[in-house]
Structures are given as C-alpha cells and as structure tokens.
Amino acid sequence: MDHFHYRDRALYCEGVAVEDLATEYGTPLYVYSQATMLHHLRQIQTAFADAQPLICYSLKTNGNIHIGRLMAEHGAGFDVTSGGELYRALASGGSGDKIVFAGVGKTDDEIRKALEVGIRFFNVESEEELANIAAIARQHGRKAQVALRVNPDLPPKTHVKTDTSVKGVKFGLDIETVVEVAGQYVNHPHVEIVGLHMHLGSPILSTDPYRQGSAKAVDLIKKLRHQGHTITYLNMGGGFGIHYRKQEALPAAAFAEVLVPAAKQSGCQLVLEPGRFIVGNAGILVSRVLYTKSTGGKRYVIQDAAMNDLIRPTLYESFHRIWPVRPAPGFPTPPSDYEADIPNAVRCDVVGPVCESGDFLARDRCLPPLRRGDLLATFSAGAYGMSMSSNYNGRPRAAEVLIDGRRHRLIRRRETYEDLVRPEREVPT
C-alpha cells in the first residue's frame, strides 16, 4: 500500500497534487510520502513484535537526515556502511546504542569514530578487520562489540550485483571457517563477539532464503556458544522486496513467520536492517518531458531526469513503473500490468539528457501519448534513488520534498551550479 493515487485524472501524493509540487519546486524532483514510509516501518514493527527486534533502518537506501529523523522518532535505529553514514545517523538524531556498522572496508578513522559514539556493534566482514578492530579498541582502552557477518552460501536469489550470500562475493566470512576465526577471540580483552550477521542480498521476493539462512545461523550460534561466546544478537539484515512491477512483494508478516521462530530458537534478540521495504514505495521521481523523437525505428521520450538521478535501470536493468502525472484522455490511470500491450499507447524508450546510451529510465514501454512539457512520475524510486545520485554531466542533484497529508516541505534544496564547483574553488591558491 502506498499513498500515491490518481484523483480527477491527476496524480496526488497524499493530499497534494504532484503538478503543484513540480511547479513550486521544479523538476527533476523526488517526492516522498511520509505516511507510506511510516506505514511500512510500522508493518515491520508489528509483524516482528514477538521477537522484540532492534530495527536498524539502512541509511544507504535513502540517507536524507529528515527521513532519518522520522525513523529515529518512530523507534528505529540505523544500519550504516561508512563514516559518512554514521555522521548522517547522528545528524538524524540517532543514538549510538541503536547503530550497527557493516561494510568490508572500514577504515581506522571510521572504527575509531564508531567506538567513540558507542555503537551497538560492528558487523565484521573479515579476519583482518576483526584483528584491526581489536587493536584499535585496545589503543583506546575499549572493548568493541562485534557480530560476525557470515556468507551462508545460498543459491542465487536476486540480481547478481545485489546478491550478497552466494559463494565468491566479497561480503562476510566463509561459513566453513567462521567458527575457527571466532575461536581465537574467546575471552578476548578488547573484542566481544555478541552476534551473528547475515544480510542475504536485495530485493528478495521469497521467504526461502531467510528460512535457509536463519537455519544455518541458529546452528552456528550454538557452535559459537559452545566455544564460550555469549551470543545475544541474531542480525538477519535487510533485503525485503517491494512492488516494482505490480503487487509482487510479500508483506512483512511473511518474513516474520520465518524469522521470529528462528530468533526464539536461537535465544537471541533479532536485529533487522530494512531499507528498501520502508522507503522504496514511498518515493517517486517527477520529471518533465523535454522532447519526443523517432529515430532508428524507435520512439523516444526525452525527459529531464537521468541516470545521475536514478541509476537503477542502468545499473541493474531494474524495472520502474512510469506513468504521466496527468495522462491523456482515454488513459485515466496506470495499467495493472505495465508489461502488457496497452491499446492506443505508444511504445517508447524513456531517456534522459546524459550523454550515455545507457541513460534510460525505461525501455520499450507502453505510455499514453506525451508532449513537451508533460510531467512523468517514475514510481518506487524512494530507495537507492537519491542516495545513488551523482553530478555526472554537470547535473546538479534534484530537490527532495516530503509530503505529510496536505503539507509539503522541502527536505533537500536543488543543488546549484555553484555547488558543483565549490570544493574545487575552496582549495589553497
């Protein structure tokens, strides 16, 4: 469920007409529905309530501090993957004891800073990293809490670039050797192994990987306890899929059905790191048609959002629903099946201004006829949209606006040309 809907043939986000937002804030524009993101956070909180989970919102999904603040205010902690995200988590009002830190390449500075603010635990991804965290904790007279990230070696379950639990990816420790690594840290003065971490990949549209992964985790936790570790946390990461094409995503309750019993069986507190599930369907990217043209036997709609604003189609061949904010007569609302032929529609590629053949938001897509000046909405763009944006082709980043009922509030201003060159100007001459 989300709060984007057509009323009198025009798209609304909650109680606000998207056309009005485009007029006021310009395009390309990210529009977020507060009710939608809070609904999804609550759905997870409710479904998993029996396991009293620590829900750490994955900041890399959408790091805007105003969204972060909403998460913190509604009970979430944060999952961060860098010092920059740790900074964002704190700027969002996050408290250290609800922050977990993952990533294969944590620098000494990042580890030091995380120890200083007292994060809950590090998700450790290699033997060398574990040794380094121990050394830094020792220098600072601390004891670092860590969860060992394990690669459970499961069958492929999502796009190859975002599958993190098949053999051979860079993430985590091998399941065959993790117990051996842990053996060297029993009663260690500066490192305490308190948990097991398993982020399987994303997006995942089935509960099977969670069933298989958590079974392996429960088994491993027994072995780690047998060694003498006090394992308190079972961290099953994020990865819950969302609706990109139609209503293909599972409700949080389906994942809870698998993970809550596993957590109980392990005798651990469950930790989750959802990102996409919370904000993915809560955001759209609004753009304006610049030109249309036919070339090489193909029809193109050229609009002002590009791969620098939303790179998922280019990077992962991802599918995003696209529909006009005010469709031509005869096309009142979006189709239930975007991949089927739509009578009287035009099959076209939706592309941006960036100088790359790979710059597109959609290919061979049936859309109502479009004209210069028409507005388009690209749906399910709240996750890995703005957070993966860049300035490529000298393009300032889009503005972001948050909707709450009939109110709208700018939560990131559009970047200016001056923003583009400032770090280059601010150097010694």
Ligand X SMILES: *Cc1c(COP(=O)(O)O)cnc(C)c1O
110 binds ligand X (CB under 6 A): no
Whats the size of the chain, residue-wise? 429
Q: Is 348 a catalytic site residue?
A: no
Nearest to 239 by CA among 265, 288, 274: 274
252 binds ligand X (CB under 6 A): no
82 binds ligand X (CB under 6 A): no
Output 60 or 365, the one with its CB closest to ligand X: 60
* Alpha helix ranges (H) inside 117-183: 127-139, 178-183
Asked if 340 and 347 touch (Cβ cutoff 8 Å), the reply is: no
Q: Which of 27, 33, 43, 61 binds ligand X (CB under 6 A)?
A: 61
88 binds ligand X (CB under 6 A): no
312 binds ligand X (CB under 6 A): no
Residue 139: other Cβ atoms inside 10 A = 12
Q: Which of 28, 77, 172, 239 binds ligand X (CB under 6 A)?
A: 239
Interface with ligand X by CB under 6 A: which range of 28-36, 125-133, 134-142, 273-281? Answer: 273-281
Tell how strand 298-303 and strand 283-295 pair up. antiparallel
Spell out the residues 6+ positions from residue 379 whose beta carbon is closer than 8 angstroms to its own.
4, 281, 284, 320, 321, 322, 323
Tell how strand 191-197 and strand 144-151 pair up. parallel
Site for ligand X in 337-396 (CB under 6 A): 383
Q: Which of 98, 199, 312, 395 binds ligand X (CB under 6 A)?
A: 199
Measure the CA–CA gap between 48 and 256, rounded to whole angstroms. Answer: 6
Asked if 194 and 97 touch (Cβ cutoff 8 Å), the reply is: no
**Closest approach of ligand X to the CB of residue 242, in Å:** 9
Q: What is the dihedral of CA 341, 320, 277, 124, to 10 degrees?
A: 130
Output 68 or 334, the one with its CB closest to ligand X: 68
277 binds ligand X (CB under 6 A): yes
Give the contact letters, 201-220, x = binds to ligand X (CB under 6 A), - = no. Answer: -xx-----------------
Measure the CA–CA gap between 382 and 352, rounded to whole angstroms. Answer: 19
Interface with ligand X by CB under 6 A: which range of 47-55, 176-184, 267-275, 283-291? Answer: 267-275
Q: Which of 27, 43, 58, 165 binds ligand X (CB under 6 A)?
A: 58
**Closest approach of ligand X to the CB of residue 162, in Å:** 8
Local structure of residue 203 (DSSP, 8 states): -
Instruction: Give the H/E segment covering residue 11.
Output: strand 10-13
Burial of 341 (0-12, 13-18, 19+ CB in 10 A): exposed
**Closest approach of ligand X to the CB of residue 278, in Å:** 8
Residue number with the smallest Cβ distance to ligand X = 238
Residue 349's SS3 state is strand
Nearest to 333 by CA among 324, 321, 341: 324
Instruction: Give the H/E segment covering residue 265.
Output: helix 252-266
The site for ligand X, by CB under 6 A, has a size of: 19
Residue with tokens 């957590």: 263
125 binds ligand X (CB under 6 A): no
Interface with ligand X by CB under 6 A: which range of 23-31, 272-280, 302-310, 325-333? Answer: 272-280
Output 249 or 348, the one with its CB closest to ligand X: 249
**Closest approach of ligand X to the CB of residue 331, in Å:** 32
Which residue in 13, 56, 355, 366 is the catalytic one? 355
Residue with tokens 């056309």: 19
Nearest to 127 by CA among 116, 119, 135: 135
229 binds ligand X (CB under 6 A): no
33 binds ligand X (CB under 6 A): no
129 binds ligand X (CB under 6 A): no
Residue 200: other Cβ atoms inside 10 A = 24
Interface with ligand X by CB under 6 A: which range of 38-46, 232-240, 363-371, 407-415? Answer: 232-240
For 149-199, give the DSSP string.
EEE--PPP-S-TTTB-SSTTSSSSEETTTHHHHHHTTTT-SSEEEEEEE--
308 binds ligand X (CB under 6 A): no
94 binds ligand X (CB under 6 A): no
Interface with ligand X by CB under 6 A: which range of 176-184, 231-239, 294-302, 306-314? Answer: 231-239
**Closest approach of ligand X to the CB of residue 79, in Å:** 5
163 binds ligand X (CB under 6 A): no
Asked if 410 and 362 touch (Cβ cutoff 8 Å), the reply is: no
Task: State the catalytic residues.
Answer: 355
Q: Which residues bind ligand X (CB under 6 A)?
A: 58, 60-61, 79, 81, 102, 199, 202-203, 237-240, 273-277, 383
